Amino acid sequence: GQWWLDAWHGRDAVLSSGWQQLAAAPSATADFYGLSFWLNTHFRDYPGLPENTFHAGGNSGQFVIVAPEAELVIVRLGLTLDESAVALAEPLADIYAELTKPEPLAININQ
């Protein structure tokens, strides 16, 4: 996931930013799927995450989610026999909201 995120932002010497952005762009035949990545566009598997989020799913609920605008990679290696993304959408939205909320400044800039 970190490799894909770095490539998205042009920070990788192997994968180009152009390739990664193409891989996470809607295909001509399915606007919810790119080149090997599911997209958070048409069906919005994860409505609490940004639309440019892309993800790869594995067996029994394992997945990697990349949210480029937040510099965030979420990996799940657990076992879930019901592979419905809906069951995880709300907890992931809560995690995303917590990790991306603005932090108050540690100092008072008015003093």
pLDDT tens-digit map of 55-99: 998 888 888 999 998 899 999 888 877 765 547 788 889 988 988
- For the question of whether the overall pTM of this predicted structure is more than 0.75, the answer is yes
DSSP 102: P
Rg from Cα positions in the chain: 16
Rounded distance between C-alpha atoms, residue 29 and residue 12, angstroms: 29
